[in-house]
Structure 1
Amino acid sequence: MSSKVIIVTGASRGIGLAVVKILLDSKGANVVAASRTITPELQSLADAHPNSLKVVQGDLANASVSLQTVSEAISAFERLDGIVFNAGILEPLGRIASKDISVDSWKSLFDINFFAVVQMLKDGIPYLRERKGKVVLVSSGLANGKLASAAPYSASKAALNSLARTLANEEKEITSIALRPGVVDTGMQTALRNEGPGKAAMLEHELTRFFDLHATGKLLKPEQPAEVIAGLVLHAPHELSGRFVSWDSDDLEPFRTSL
């Protein structure tokens, strides 16, 4: 079986859905898409690619769903060449000192944004070693930022960057990259615009950039970073392993092939 086998999490919409579509339509890959929900768009892809796309529905914070996803790749396609970790949530939004934002809500976010990644790596690394596979962790510019009221999300993305560095050091045969996808026109940006101003006095001047990008039509289309992510999970050079890179960096210019 020559086609590479890729797992994509958070595959129902936005960047994740775009990555799945590019892998199937442009790259000739086999894909296992993991998602909490199956949107009409994801179902349409599954109907159009019955032999090369398998869909696993479930909450990746549940360890059994992670194992099911990896097992589906092996049972359906007999190998695993790469994983795109795109699943993530933004809430809770609120100041660190806010009594309305509980520590348990931080833990719930980390369960999805970070610990689900750790679990799937534990399940998938033995197979990735066999294929000298690739891991792309979709991070955020906020990993290095300080946006008020977004500490849980920002901290979880900073943790992903650290995880990518350590994975690259521990697993020399696996290429591990944390990627900043830019400011993309997704549901997360909609949530920031709608919820941000009212969430524990998120600083207005910090949100202005997001509002301005939306108003001027300068938010990225999901397909733009998705093209880079799809290329990386298939063909990332090993010298990028452990790095946190931006989708529009000079190093990734070869992967911006069609957009």
Structure 2
Amino acid sequence: MSKVVLITGTSSGIGLSAAVAAARAGFTTVATLRDPQRADALRKAAEEAGVQLDIRRLDVTDAASVAECIAGVVADHGRLDAVVNNAGAGHVGTLENESVDDVRQVMEVNFFGVVQVSKAALPHLRASGGRLVTVTSVGGVVGQPFNEAYCAAKFAVEGFMESLAPVAASVGVSVSVVEPGAVASEFVANVGVDLAEAIASAGAYAPALEAYLGRTRAMFASAAQSSDEAADTVLAALTAERPAFRLQTSDAARGFVGAKLADLDGSAVQAFTGGWIA
């Protein structure tokens, strides 16, 4: 019997690529997304790869949706061996120019959504000796200008999972985080910001924001890896005999995260990211 993996946020990007890769590797793959009407690209990718996916609705911010989906998967497939928390949403902004509710919403999707899915899945992963894999970001290690709320959410996920990992291991569940850097996917387009309007309304922060956006566009245009390449690391977390807790998806991501982990007083990172908005 093949192992069953549930992946969230599979309408595009890393989630879509990871779903196809997992199915190709022999997993029974439950590919979930908030809006099933956005599954056309997922279905097309599965058809082109010659694999079958079990596509279901799951809204990570809706407790009833999470409970219903996971219960349905276990009822239909008899088990749950792995979960990949991939669903999330980008956000660009800075504290003075946005509301506290804006920040709360970013946390709701990117942090509490992960917690909600993980909590619902853990009893089943404990029963199967399974794996909990969460796609975070290099932004979960390195704070980045105009990404305060997004990085806060990803930092929270990293701290939560790093703390959970030894506890979960004591009952047979492996916990890992996957840290992508720049990935060429719809995620960037889905940040939901009208860039010209954002700069025009940024007030005193306009010069810094314009510099940041210019640098970010150039970096994604020249150095972003493909979502398929990033998904290879997700698959490694699902299939390695003893996966590491923290896995980066590229050499660039490894260098970026490594610089932070070696920067005891924070001065190196501040000098580096400060240059993005100079």
Please tell me the TM-score bracket, short chain as reference. Answer: 0.7 to 0.9
Query: For residue 145 of structure 1, what is the amino acid of its counterpart?
Result: V
8 A contact 2:13–2:187 mirrored in 1: no
Alignment match of 2:248 (pick from 237, 246, 249): 246
Equivalent-residue separation in structure 2 for 1:50 and 1:67 (angstroms):
30
| Gap runs ≥5 in structure 2 | 255-278
| Gap runs ≥5 in structure 1 | 253-259
8 A contact 2:183–2:220 mirrored in 1: no
Equivalent-residue separation in structure 1 for 2:49 and 2:65 (angstroms):
22
Return the TM-score normalized by structure 2.
0.78
Query: For residue 31 of structure 1, what is the amino acid of its counterpart?
Result: T
Matches for 1:1-259 after TM superposition, within 5 Å? 1=1, 3-25=2-24, 27-38=25-36, 39-44=39-44, 53-91=53-91, 93-98=92-97, 101-172=98-169, 173-190=172-189, 195=194, 198-199=197-198, 200=202, 201=206, 203-216=209-222, 218-235=223-240, 237-238=242-243, 240-241=244-245, 244-248=246-250
Equivalent-residue separation in structure 2 for 1:208 and 1:237 (angstroms):
40
Q: Which runs of 4+ in 1 moved over 6 A?
A: 46-51
Instruction: Give the 3-state SS of the residue equivalent to 2:88 in structure 1.
Output: coil
Deviation (angstroms), 1:32: 1.2
Give the percent of matched residue pairs that are identical in Structure 1 and Structure 2. 26
More moved, 32-41 vs 3-12? 32-41
Equivalent-residue separation in structure 2 for 1:192 and 1:105 (angstroms):
13
CA RMSD of aligned residues (A): 2.7
More moved, 116-125 vs 45-54? 45-54
- Greater Rg over alpha carbons, structure: 2
Could you report, residue by residue, the CA deviation over 1:160-208 in whole angstroms, capped at 9, with x for unpaired residues?
1011111112211211111111200112323569645653335344344
Could you report, residue by residue, the CA deviation over 1:200-245 in whole angstroms, capped at 9, with x for unpaired residues?
33534434442223443x311100010110221233515x23xx33
Equivalent-residue separation in structure 2 for 1:40 and 1:117 (angstroms):
25
Return the TM-score normalized by structure 1.
0.83
| Structure with the largest fraction of helix | 2
| Cα distance change, pair 150–236 in 1 and its aligned pair in 2 (3 A) | farther
More moved, 36-45 vs 223-232? 36-45
